[in-house]
Every structure is written in C-alpha cells, then in structure tokens.
Structure 1
Amino acid sequence: MLSWAAKQHRGRTALIFGDDCLTYDDVEAGSNRLAHALLSLGLQVGDRVAVLLNNSPEAIESVFAVEKAGLVYVALNARHTLAEQIAILEDAGATLLVAGPEFRDIGEGVRDGVTSLRHVIGLDWQAPAVLDYRELLASMPADAPNVQVAADALLRIAYTSGTTGKPKGVTYTVKRWYERLTNHFYAMEYSLGVDDAMLHVGPLTHAAGVHLLPCYLRGARNVILEKFEPLETLRQIDRHCITQMMCVPTMLTRLLDTLDSGVDADLSSLKCIHYGTAPTSVDLIRRAITRFGPVMRQQYGMTEAVQPLAVLYPHEHADEGALRSCGKPTANVQITVRDTNGQELAQGEIGEIAIATDGIGEVAFWRRPDLEAEAIRDGWYYSGDLGYLDAQGFLYIVGRNKDMIISGGFNVYAREVEDALECHPQVVEVAVLGLPDAEWGERIAAFVVIRDGATVDSETLANHCTALIAGYKKPRLIEFVDALPRNNAGKVVKNILRDGYLARLERNES
C-alpha cells in the first residue's frame, strides 16, 4: 500500500516539516533505504524494532521502513524516563533501537539494561558502538526490499499503561492493519483527496498518528510540527491552507486563548477539527464552534481497536444534548452497555461499554494472555469505560472502571503514580485520582498519608516523581490527609476523596 501510494502520487508533496518539503518519491526512497539497512544488520522477520523520535520526517520514514522489512514496529513515548523505556524495551524483546538527538542519554543508557538489544542507531548524534543513521542509509538501494510475510505476522506493538503499572502492549497483525487501511469506512469517513492538508500537532506515536496513513494513501499533504505551540499552529493553518487537524482539549483551549488575545490568522480553509482522547467540556466545544465554525468532529476510540468506534459529526453538534456524548457507533461497529454479569442494559442505564466489530475478537496483548481472557468475552470487547446509550443511539461516557486518568490526551493509571509516591521514605500510603480540569481534561491528584513527624512537602514529593515517571504523570495536586477512607473490605474509597475535595473547592469559590 505504501509503495502503491508513492507510485500513484509520484512528484506530489507528501510531507512538510518546517522548511522541508518531501515528495512521495523522497519518502519512498528514504524508507526503502532504511528497510535495507535494517535487513543488512541481520534482523529477521518478526524482530522488534523500537523507535524513539520526536515528530519529524525520519519518524515517518522509520515506521514505513520497519514494516517494509517485515519487522515489528514499537513506538516509544518520548516523555518516558529511562527506567520506563527499559521496561518496555525488555518486555518487547527489542533487537534494535532508533533514537533521535534529544534522546542520546536514553540511547546510551539502555545498552546495558536490555538483554535483547543488539543495535542502537543514532539520528544526528554519534557515540561508540552506536550506528550513524545517515551513514547507514547512504549506501543502501532506493527500491523496496522483497520481503514476504504471512497475513497473521505481527506488524506493530502499541504500548499503553497497564492497570498494575506494568507495560501493556497491544498487537496488530499485517491482516488486521491492512483491513483497516482498505476498509471502505476510511474513504467514506474522512473524504480525503489530493487537495487536503492534515496538520499534525501532537505526537505521531499517539492519536495524531491515526490520521497520517489515510492522508498519505489518498495523496493529501501531511504537515508536521515537532511539537504543539499555539501561535505556530495558527500560522501553519494559514500558510498551508490546512483542511483538517487533530486536537486534544488542552490544545483547543490554548488555541482559543491565543485567538482571543488578538492574534489574526486566516482559518477559512479548515473543514474538520478532530478532537477527543480526553473528556471535553461542553463549554469548550461551544467556544470552539463559535470561533472555528461547524467543523468540530469528536471521535471515540482506543488502542485496542483499529478504527473509530463512535463519532459525533459536525452537523450533530447543533444538538445541545448530543454535545455531551461522543456520538453514535460507526460503520460495522456494535456498542452495548453491560452490567457486571455481562447482561445488556436498557437505554439510559450506566454500565461497562462493550464493543463488537470486525477483528475485535482478534485483539491480543503482547505476552499477556491474562488480559485477553479478561477483556474479550463471547466475541465482545469489554472496554473498561462506563457509559450509557440514549434513545437516539448516542453514547455517553461517564467514567472508567479501570481507574485510568486522561490528562492532556495521555493515559495515566493511578497505580503508576501511587507506586512512585510510595517509594518516598516519608510516605505511608497514597490514593491517586483524576479531578475535572478545564485545560487538561483531568488533573492528577494525590492524597497522601505521611509518617508521624515527617515534614515533607508537596513540592518535594512532586520532584521525587521526576526520576520515576514521565512528567505528564506527575500529580498536579498533592493533598496531605490523616488517613485514606476505606470500605468494609478495606479498599480505599476514592469517591469520598474526590467528592470531599470538590465540595471544599466549591465552598471556597463561593
């Protein structure tokens, strides 16, 4: 499919990154050279290749190359600490790591911590025993390698946090990914053509990357920012006549604040702003519609699914009631709400969201059969999200039963943060939860019990987390309590902590 797109759209602009414009021929040749380079190092079909790069043409070149070589692509989160990177590399059994210049310390640091790792390729940095990315590609052929793989061969492992804090890798086979790309749904859903331009402002390893391949296959331009910055985002929309973009709520808020400050930008080219990945307030949605027009499109999905599961289309945003929903199920998707016994609930009743769609029964977790048995029952995937369906078929999400927090578009599991805080010698126990936040969707809050006589403060505990977990996982609120509320079974009742804090906040504001 990638080589077909290169031939189909030969000579057209495929990627724009700063002042660099790459044609389809450029991307095809570069990814082919890297694919040959990986094979020349002795990698075999099925070997795992991890990539740690910020948004860049090389980030796209790498994923294309790994797949063309019949290898398994593992994207690493640029915000993870060295310890977190090592845990994922070990779990994946990665044979090779490609690392950018910003990640030199990690590229060198993982060498002794990952038993399976045989090679590290450095992009624009050099060190002993580290291969030079550009030198490696210079002598390689520009044609696609002739590698044959079976339809059920592994193509990607996408890591998301586990409820216990352990790495959880969702796997995709060649067949499942190919069906995603060739499914008529994508042509119908995105209505993409050669005159479209998609602006990527979030990490391509996360939700933003979902839109890249459909755009590439349809001949649309992919305009990439290294990182999100509101003023530069507005300039790029104006400069490149952007028609589509993806934003998490935090980005939307900052874009609107920048525009409200008096910044002038021509936004008339925008046809669709995709948003989601985190709770989005109705006030923010209304504000965005007022500023951008009827172009907002919410999408509900998850790493385990290879297509959007529910969509709230731009025209449906005119329904005030529907604004609180995430839309209706998409083509070939069935969504039901079930109780703890797996029985389907009536309209309006809250339960766990269960999904049935093509390939959902094939969901697999890397080296975690326990998760598969827990999540897939009788052909239905149990999402862990709590919600309900109304009479019109709109889906409303009210919470999560897996204690997950989504802050700034990133998934954070409370257990990971609790483990980090409980490592501090002055901490007895911790309960971590998400609180509503207008900018971040949810704010990570930690309620901490410290040892008698301890004098530790919240800043010290936040700094303590820095070496253990990524910055976006650090608590933004730390409150000290004498004891954690528990039920008769001895389990911490987090709702009491949440409700008590919000009640105190409301009293203080009034």
Structure 2
Amino acid sequence: MAADCVVFDMTMDHSRSELWEILGEPARYPRFFRGVSSCDKLATDGYGAPAEYALRACLGTNAVIDHRLRTVINRRDEQLVLSGVPDTGGWVSIRLSDAGPDRTQVKIVFFKPMLRHELGASWSESDIRTWARDGLRRVSDHLAGVADTRADRHREPRGSALHVAKTLISAGILMPARPDKTLRQLRALAKWGATLAGGYGAAAARSPKAPAITDEDRELTFAQVDERSTRLAHSLAGLGVGPASKVGVLARNHSAMVQTLVACGKLGADAVLLNTGLAGAQIDDMVRRHTVVVLVADDEFTPLLRYLPDDIPLVGTGEPSDHVNTTVDELVDAGATDPLPAPPEPGRLIVLTSGTTGTPKGARRPTPGLADAAQVLSRIPLRAGDRIFVAAPIFHSWGLTALQIAMPLRAGLVVQRRFDAEATLAAIAEHRCTALFAVPIMLQRILNLPAQVRARYDTSSLRIVASSGSALPGALVTGFMDTFGDILYNFYGSTEVSAASIAGPADLRAAPTTAGRAPQGTRLGLLGPDGKPVPPGVVGRIFVGNDMLFDGYTDGAGREVRNELMDTGDRGYFDADGRLFVSGRDDEMIVSGGENVFPRPVEEVLVDLPQVDEAAVIGVPDAEYGQRLVAYVVVRPGARLDEDSVRAYVHQRLARFSVPREVIFVDELPRNQTGKVLKRVLAEGDLLEQQVDAGDAA
C-alpha cells in the first residue's frame, strides 16, 4: 500500500523564475505531464479569490476523470499548493528553492487523497516519481530549447504493406468473394485505376444490386451508377469532353453530381468542383481560368451564369428548360452503352480552397489508392456495406473524402441537397445510416434542436459521426457525445495535405479540443522559423507528410515543403501524450503588446459562457498595441450579456493580452457553404452584404 505522502525532488539547470512560468500555471501542465489532458482556469466569483481549475486526466488504465482544483498557496517563484474541490484534505505542493547559479531544486509533495482521486489508486510510489520526473524533463527541454524528439516517436511511419492489408481486411475491403466477381473487380480497377470510375466499376462488379446513392428523388444501385455514367460519358464526349479536358461542376449533393464525377473519370477528364457559394463573377472567372469545356450546374444557379461564354455547353441537373442546353438525364438517355476505352491518364479532381481569407484557388488532388483509404480507416472504423449520410458538401474536400472512402467499402451514400438538422435525423432513421460525415456547424444545429424533436428519430444505427472543415469547439464535442454517445471523430486536414490527424472518441473525451494523432502512413512535424522541430510545449508551424499531398494550385503556386513535409498554414503544439492541438492559422496570429496571441483559445472561452451561442475573434490594427483582439458574439435567444461581462469572464480565464479590446454583438456569423466563419468579412466590416446563412450549408 502506498504511503500517505510521496515526495519527489529534482535539481534542474534553470532559474526559479523560468520554471515558475510553467510550474506556476497549471493550465500549461497538459503540454508536459502525461495523462493530464486539460487543466482549464475557471472564472472566479470576485477579485482576489483563489484561482480554480477544471482538471481532466486519464492516467494508466483508468477512465477519464474530471476534478476541480483550488490554489491554496501561490507565492511567485517559490511555492504553489493545489487542493481538491470539495476539500478532502489532500493536496499537491510544488516548491522551488535555489541550488546554485541558475539552478533550482524542485520539490513536489503528493498527499495520498489527491493521489487516489487524481492519479489513480493503482499507481505505486515509483510510478508517481517516474511520472513527475518525465514531466519535469520535458519542462527542462522546453526551457533549454531541445527539440521534441518524444513527439517524433509518436508520429506514425509510412504505412507498410502489412499494416495497410490488416486495415483493409479489418474494414472488410479485402475479403473472399466468388472468383468471377473478384475477376471483374480487378478488371475494373486495372482499367480505370483507383479513380471514382474504377471504384464504382469495381463495386458494381462485386455488389451490383446494393444501393450506391440515395437522394430526395431516387435511389441508384452500383450497377445503375456504372451504366448511367457510361452513357453520360459517351454523351459528354459528343460535347467535346475528352482526356485532360475540364468539366465544371456547380452542384449540391445529389445523384446527378456523383454520376457526372464518375463519367469524367471514365473519360480521363478533370472535374473542377465549384463552390456553390461563389458569386456569378467568381464562377465566370473560375470557368475561364480552368478552361472549362462543359459546365454541369443545378438549375438554381443558372441565373448566375449569364456571363458564361456561349461556346461552353450548360448541362442542367434537373428538368429541361430554356436556360440550359441539355440535362444530365437527357444525356444519359441518349448515351451509348458501349464500353469506353481506358484514358491515357486518369482524370483529376480539382477542389477549390475555402477562400476564408481570400480568393478561392484550384488545388489539384492526386488520385487516392487503397493505401490512402487505409490511412483514414486506421482511425475511423468504417466497414464494408456501411450506409453513410454525407451532409458535408461533396464539392468540399471533406464531402469528397466521404465519397472516395465509400467506394472501396461499397458503402451506400445518402445525400440531401440542402442541410436541415431535423431532416438529417429523419434520413438517418429512415435509411438506418451507420455513419454521418458533417462539418461542425451542422453538428451544432443538430444539437440545438429541442430534445423532444431529437427524440422523434431513432439514430441508434449511428456508429460514427465524422467531422471536419473547421475547428470543433470543446463544448460541442462533449455536448454531442453526451447526447448521441461516444461516436464522434474529428478529422484535421486540408485540401492541400489530405489527412493530417484524427481524434477518436477516447481522445475527444480526454481532450475535447484536440485534433488527435497522425493516421497510418502520415507524419506530423512542428517546425520553428529555422525549419527545425520545436521544443516540447512550444507552438510551431504544422507540417504534414503522406502520399496524398496535393500537386499544387492550378495557378502554378504551391506550398512550402521541408524534408518531405508540407506546410499546412496552421500552427499548433503536441501535448505530453502526443496529441496535436491546432492553435490557429498562421495569418490569424497577432502580436499584441509584444505577445503572440491566437484567437482560438479566446473563442473556446467565449463559447463556454452559457449565454453565448457562437463567437469569432479576429485581430485588427491598434495604434498603441500594434494589434488588438475584437470578439464577435452571437447571444443565445432570450439571454442577456454585455461587453464588460464578456471581457471580465475572459480575463478570469486567460492572460491579460488575450482579453478582447472590443466585443461586438451580432445576430449571426458570416459563414461559407462549408460552415467556416468568414473572418475576412468580419475584418472588412461588411456583414450585412456578404453574410451567408449557415443553414444553407451543403
């Protein structure tokens, strides 16, 4: 049995003031001490009240525990004592004393009740001392500027053939089948490659009668998608589409869009996926810039296409009308069924960047293979034959990922043209969907539905809810999992680097704001200005290496690459357990009064306020401080809140330089079609004219 107290001391080659900057602020502990996933400072009742922290930890084999701590003693550069709330008589003391020039003795005392509640009763005295020593060594490396080699060991190596095979077998992709079906599958893949054409052709050979895609109008089997896309490809060829030519696609999520993408693959044509939120002039610019030869568009967008060159045929996805030259269904009906020859090179999918900070750019995506599917499946346990509701727009890289990952799984897709929270739950219940691909704002809209509305629909079939596209607020993570169960997965990546990291339910329970860990075949790097790995706990530039890095922008530009790792444009840090946390975009970081500040931690604090529905924070120029933070806050219906209360709340949770200098209350935040907040619109102060309703996303 462990003693009532465990005492640990260690002499470190750093001054007391240097060590106090870390050890005197428990909120920084997760970056250095394993198992401490968060230690958030809480708002206190009044000035001078002891600081309190919400500790979340998962140590050893124990479940995630939540506990509250209060500062009992806080003598700068000397001693910090923390006790539990409510007070059980236990405490942890950290004392610093001089041990020579720039040397400090650190003495830590753990009192048994704190050990039992916070560290787990199964820990021995030796375990506790090892844990403390490990954390302090990481602190020492941080202060000495030593590269975070521990984080290197937590990066996943490139997926070996054995690892890939095991993942594909586990997902049900590689499994025995009738020899004739297997032969037809292999022929389809050999002919078309790992494109959408190859994937749907192989699925048609293996499971021809299984549902491939279901929208509001129809349900098509894999065999029907294969046949209809062949007919459509023949007709598109008659309109001048051939290998390496480009077809623009301006459409919401429905079967005609998917058929068009498969048909392009059979012709070896590039499909340019246009954002449905683009203005008419932007569409015209993208069509001309990418030398589009045919444009396939939903009827609702035809009024925006009045400047389209006359020599570009306009193909509608709905009923025939005077506004289009023909429709997808008419081309399918008129097309031949003769097998098409394989193109000399596979067509590419060109995805537009989100354009949240500027003009959207086309990004050429490589063709994914089974190894790339295994990358996602190594962290998100989708299975062959799943039924996936794709709420994220397919023109966006996350919705496209759902489409591409569904192919080898022979998974049926369920889609709707526009996102509606209740309609999504109704479709999940009706079709017994096992997975949902969405963006965070969609999950927030679902969670915001009244409990009695959510209760009308049986969503027990859901095993996986996968989110990407923007940061998941911690409050949304815990609220969603408390309501629907531990089925949430957070995918962090981009059009340029594909998958960077994925957080599963266990990581999200432990650390709700984490971006997770690298999937199979991916390497993560946090680099400093010199291009070298940063020390433990330091925020660095996030670089990613895998086999799905994009081929560059269509204007010839690219991304910085160092040691086969590509710059994401984001900054972040690893915690002591190797989980990645994204601090924000490079271009969002501001320097206020000499301090580097990221908006995301401030946004996380703001949405913790019960009166706040949504919040966004940006930096603006300031004559005195260089830059200052401005918070845009959406107050919940019926709630009351003022600027002073918001600023005081943030000041109790974060450092002075993170407190917004201004708080602006708005009815809603401007978002693009994938739900990302358009911070450039906030910075331009043009909310009324440019605001996009998040309810229209997807």
Q: Deviation per CA, 1:445-466, whole angstroms, max 9, x where unpaired?
A: 797xxxxxxxxxxxxxxxxxxx
Q: Is structure 2 residue 382 aligned with structure 1 residue 197?
A: no
Would you say the 8 A contact 2:617–2:632 is kept in 1?
no
Would you say the 8 A contact 1:107–1:120 is kept in 2?
no
The 5-angstrom pairing of residues 267-346 of structure 1 reads 267-306=459-498, 308-319=499-510, 322-346=511-535
Q: Secondary structure at the match of 1:49?
A: strand
1:74 to 268, 272, 287: 272
Q: Is structure 2 residue 204 aligned with structure 1 residue 6?
A: yes
Residue of structure 1 equivalent to 2:248: 50
Identity of aligned residues (%): 23
Q: Is structure 2 residue 518 aligned with structure 1 residue 365?
A: no
The 5-angstrom pairing of residues 186-265 of structure 1 reads 186-206=376-396, 207-264=398-455, 265=457
Q: Structure 2 vs 1, CA of residues 219 and 164 (structure 1 numbering), >3 Å: closer, same or farther?
A: closer
The 5-angstrom pairing of residues 47-126 of structure 1 reads 47-111=245-309, 118-123=312-317, 124-126=319-321
Shift of 1:367: 2.2
Would you say the 8 A contact 2:490–2:504 is kept in 1?
yes
Q: Deviation per CA, 1:253-273, whole angstroms, max 9, x where unpaired?
A: 221121424442212111011
Q: Which amino acid aligns with 1:495?
A: R
Shift of 1:402: 2.9
Shift of 1:326: 0.7
Q: Structure 2 vs 1, CA of residues 227 and 440 (structure 1 numbering), >3 Å: closer, same or farther?
A: farther
Q: Is structure 2 residue 321 aligned with structure 1 residue 133?
A: no
Shift of 1:503: 6.7
Would you say the 8 A contact 1:375–1:381 is kept in 2?
yes
Residue of structure 2 equivalent to 1:411: none
Shift of 1:128: 6.7
Shift of 1:56: 1.0
Q: Deviation per CA, 1:212-257, whole angstroms, max 9, x where unpaired?
A: 2222332222111111111111111211111110222211122112
Shift of 1:403: 4.0
Shift of 1:487: 8.0
Q: Structure 2 vs 1, CA of residues 377 and 29 (structure 1 numbering), >3 Å: closer, same or farther?
A: same
**Distance in 1, Cα, partners of 2:417 & 2:260:** 16
Q: Deviation per CA, 1:272-319, whole angstroms, max 9, x where unpaired?
A: 11123212221111111111111111111100124x221111232332
Q: Point out the structure with max Rg over C-alpha.
A: 2
Q: Calculate the TM-score normalised by the size of structure 1.
A: 0.76
Residue of structure 2 equivalent to 1:356: 545
**Distance in 2, Cα, partners of 1:161 & 1:331:** 26
1:383 to 568, 592, 606: 568
Q: Which amino acid aligns with 1:398?
A: S
Q: Structure 2 vs 1, CA of residues 390 and 505 (structure 1 numbering), >3 Å: closer, same or farther?
A: same
Shift of 1:500: 13
Q: Secondary structure at the match of 2:536?
A: coil
Q: Secondary structure at the match of 1:324?
A: coil
**Distance in 2, Cα, partners of 1:440 & 1:341:** 40
Residue of structure 2 equivalent to 1:142: 337
The 5-angstrom pairing of residues 425-504 of structure 1 reads 436=603, 438=607, 443=616, 484-486=621-623, 493-497=626-630, 504=644
Mean Cα deviation higher: 391-400 or 275-284: 275-284
**Distance in 1, Cα, partners of 2:372 & 2:630:** 47
Would you say the 8 A contact 2:272–2:351 is kept in 1?
yes
Q: Structure 2 vs 1, CA of residues 252 and 14 (structure 1 numbering), >3 Å: closer, same or farther?
A: same
Shift of 1:67: 1.3
1:170 to 339, 355, 363: 363
Q: Calculate the TM-score normalised by the size of structure 2.
A: 0.56
Q: Secondary structure at the match of 1:51?
A: strand
Residue of structure 2 equivalent to 1:38: 236
Q: Secondary structure at the match of 2:512?
A: helix
Would you say the 8 A contact 2:514–2:582 is kept in 1?
yes
**Distance in 2, Cα, partners of 1:266 & 1:499:** 36
The 5-angstrom pairing of residues 180-191 of structure 1 reads 183-191=373-381
2:585 to 367, 388, 400: 400
Q: Deviation per CA, 1:375-428, whole angstroms, max 9, x where unpaired?
A: 223422111101011221100011111349xxxxxxxxxxxxxxxxxxxxxxxx
Structure 1 gaps of 5+ residues are 405-432, 448-483
Would you say the 8 A contact 1:47–1:71 is kept in 2?
yes
Q: Which amino acid aligns with 1:260?
A: A
**Distance in 1, Cα, partners of 2:624 & 2:648:** 28
Q: Secondary structure at the match of 1:146?
A: coil
Q: Structure 2 vs 1, CA of residues 499 and 21 (structure 1 numbering), >3 Å: closer, same or farther?
A: closer
Shift of 1:66: 0.9
Q: Structure 2 vs 1, CA of residues 325 and 194 (structure 1 numbering), >3 Å: closer, same or farther?
A: closer
